[in-house]
């Protein structure tokens, strides 16, 4: 009998990938090294040809414990690594094996409605099927070329009257929510995610308390809000590098949906904890402290992160970043840097919060730099007039309270005193209430004409 001819092409198709994989593994083994020193959260290891940003596997030969780490520096012939997990179980015998790649995550429609970690792994107890993820992307990427970006030309509805009416945000704008702890930044972000007309929302919970993640998913967003939302969570107990990566992973996911031509809302709560995690890594790896102890790498990382948001060639990423303020923020280097980098700032007032005024937005202190570029002339005129009335009322408020205000001496002040209650009612909004942009502008016009 003669044997059937071998299908050489089929054999090669099967052998070549396995051979390539084996060669890569042998090459990685050839570059492997050992842990030399562990100080705090920093690992020093002898690794041949270590590359910045490269992921390494730390494998202990006795316990079998395996931990991933990222190369963040090179010093005195050693690679400086930051672990992406707990270091318990590793030893001086631990082998360090570079994987010849930067951190990547799977992206696709299957992420909608899911809660994932800063490494792109599911946290909600359900498997993340590869079939629902149609691409893998590096966590660190370059922003679009400045001249390839689309022009910002239309507003985005956030569902909050104070924002849509008085501080209108544009599609592709980046805006900061500044305020002290406990005055409603997280609640406001959740309300915006539920009320926005964006196609997709990506929420980064950076350094939050563990209990707050589930509360945000089930109470703040609910099933309707989660249906079009991806949440990336790195709680306060996670390693500093993971809290940093959460911000970049959320931005990478937002970029995927933007590149599909969708309008994405990227909400980050909060970027101050990202900065503190970056400080922890920088100081531990030997960087010199600068302003308020923050290392130079932070002030390089912030624009690299923020510039990835904004308009693309087709879709847009509208970025909302909550910022914790120390005092009034005048001596806070992170808040100061963010005000310079972002396209607008919304300040939340502790005084308004104490009066149960939600959202506690200080309109007179806040500004949207792109508002005038995306709203109509009547809307601009109405918002300007309301702002003028609020400013004038602030000037005469003390006189009104003590009964010393004389009506008729100033027409603008008289109008401000007469309309301040209607203005405050317009600016206050319950956490379960959302309004369209059209209804908001109509109410604004009614106040002006009333």
- Does the pLDDT at position 55 exceed 60? yes
What confidence tens digit (pLDDT) does each residue in 360-400 have? 999 999 999 999 999 999 999 999 999 999 999 999 998 88
What confidence tens digit (pLDDT) does each residue in 96-129 have? 999 878 889 999 999 999 999 998 999 988 888 8
Cβ count within 10 A of residue 402: 8
Q: Enter the tokens of residue 315.
A: 């879709």
CB of 53 closer than 8 Å to CB of 81 = no
> If you ran DSSP here, which 8-state letter would residue 167 be given?
S
Q: What is the pLDDT of residue 1?
A: 44
- The β-bridge partners of 105 are 137
> If you ran DSSP here, which 8-state letter would residue 110 be given?
G
**Cis peptide bond upstream of 359, omega within 30:** yes
| Element spanning 225, H or E | helix 222-226
Pairwise CA distance, residues 300 & 288, whole Å: 14
More confident position, 13 or 62: 62
Q: What is the 3-state secondary structure (H, E, C) of 4-52?
A: CCCCHHHHHHHHHHHHHHHHHHHHHHHCCEEEEEEECCEEEEECCCCCC
In angstroms, the first-to-last Cα distance of the chain is 101
Residue of 319, 308, 320, 271 whose CA lies nearest to 137: 308
What confidence tens digit (pLDDT) does each residue in 280-298 have? 998 888 888 887 889 999 9
What confidence tens digit (pLDDT) does each residue in 420-431 have? 999 999 999 988
User: Residue 46: how many CA atoms within 13 Å on its side-chain side?
Assistant: 6
CB of 266 closer than 8 Å to CB of 251 = yes
CB of 38 closer than 8 Å to CB of 93 = no
Domains of the chain: residue spans and CATH: 26-102 (2.40.10.170), 105-373 (3.40.50.12240), 379-449 (1.20.1270.330)
Cβ count within 10 A of residue 259: 18
- Does the pLDDT at position 12 exceed 80? no
Pairwise CA distance, residues 435 & 231, whole Å: 24
- What φ, ψ does residue 252 adopt, rounded to 5°? -65, -45
Pairwise CA distance, residues 213 & 209, whole Å: 7
What is the bridge-based pairing of β-strands 66-75 and 78-83? Answer: antiparallel
- Does the pLDDT at position 25 exceed 70? no
More confident position, 50 or 448: 448
What confidence tens digit (pLDDT) does each residue in 305-321 have? 999 999 999 899 999 99
Q: What is the pLDDT of residue 30?
A: 52
Q: Can you list the pairs that 130-134 forms with residues at least 24 positions away whose Cβ atoms lie under 8 Å?
A: 130/106, 132/108, 133/106, 133/107, 133/108, 134/107, 134/108, 134/109
CB of 52 closer than 8 Å to CB of 71 = yes
Average per-residue pLDDT in the chain? Answer: 88
- What φ, ψ does residue 79 adopt, rounded to 5°? -85, 135
């Amino acid at each position: 009998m003669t044997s059937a001819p071998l299908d050489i092409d089929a054999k090669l198709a099967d052998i070549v990938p396995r051979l390539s994989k084996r060669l890569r593994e042998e090459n990685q083994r050839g570059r492997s090294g050992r842990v030399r020193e562990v100080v705090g959260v920093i690992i020093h290891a002898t690794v041949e040809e270590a590359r910045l940003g490269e992921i390494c596997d730390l494998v202990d030969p006795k316990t079998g414990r395996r931990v991933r780490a990222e190369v963040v520096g090179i010093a005195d012939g050693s690679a400086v690594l930051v672990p992406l997990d707990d270091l318990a179980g590793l030893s001086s015998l631990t082998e360090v094996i570079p994987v010849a790649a930067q951190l990547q995550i799977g992206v696709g429609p299957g992420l909608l409605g899911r809660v994932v970690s800063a490494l792109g792994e599911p946290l909600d107890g359900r498997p993340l099927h590869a079939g629902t993820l149609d691409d893998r992307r590096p966590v660190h990427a370059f922003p679009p070329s400045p001249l390839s970006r689309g022009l910002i030309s239309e507003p985005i509805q956030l569902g909050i009257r104070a924002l849509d009416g008085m501080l209108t945000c544009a599609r592709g704008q980046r805006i900061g929510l500044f305020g002290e702890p406990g005055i409603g930044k997280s609640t406001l972000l959740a309300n915006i995610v539920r009320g926005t007309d964006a196609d997709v929302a990506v929420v980064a919970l950076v350094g939050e308390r563990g209990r707050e993640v589930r509360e945000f998913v089930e109470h703040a967003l609910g099933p309707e809000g989660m249906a079009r939302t991806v949440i990336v969570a790195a709680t306060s107990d996670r390693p500093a590098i993971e809290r940093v990566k959460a911000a970049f992973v959320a931005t990478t996911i937002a970029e995927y949906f933007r590149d599909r031509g969708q309008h994405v809302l990227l909400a980050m709560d909060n970027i101050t904890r990202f900065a503190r995690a970056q400080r922890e890594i920088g100081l531990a790896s030997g960087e010199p402290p600068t302003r308020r102890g923050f290392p130079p790498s932070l002030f390089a990382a912030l624009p690299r992160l923020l510039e990835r948001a904004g308009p693309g060639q087709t879709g847009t990423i509208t970025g909302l970043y909550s910022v914790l303020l120390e005092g009034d923020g005048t001596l806070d280097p992170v808040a100061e840097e963010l005000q310079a980098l972002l396209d607008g700032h919304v300040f939340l007032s502790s005084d308004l919060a104490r009066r149960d005024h939600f959202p506690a937005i200080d309109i007179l202190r806040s500004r949207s730099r792109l508002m005038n570029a995306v709203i109509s002339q009547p809307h601009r005129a109405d918002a300007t007039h309301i702002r003028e009335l609020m400013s004038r009322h602030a000037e005469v408020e003390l006189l009104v309270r003590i009964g010393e205000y004389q009506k008729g001496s100033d027409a603008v002040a008289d109008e401000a005193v007469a309309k301040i209650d209607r203005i405050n009612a317009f600016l206050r909004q319950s956490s379960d209430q959302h309004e369209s942009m059209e209804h908001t502008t109509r109410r604004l016009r009614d106040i002006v004409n009333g």
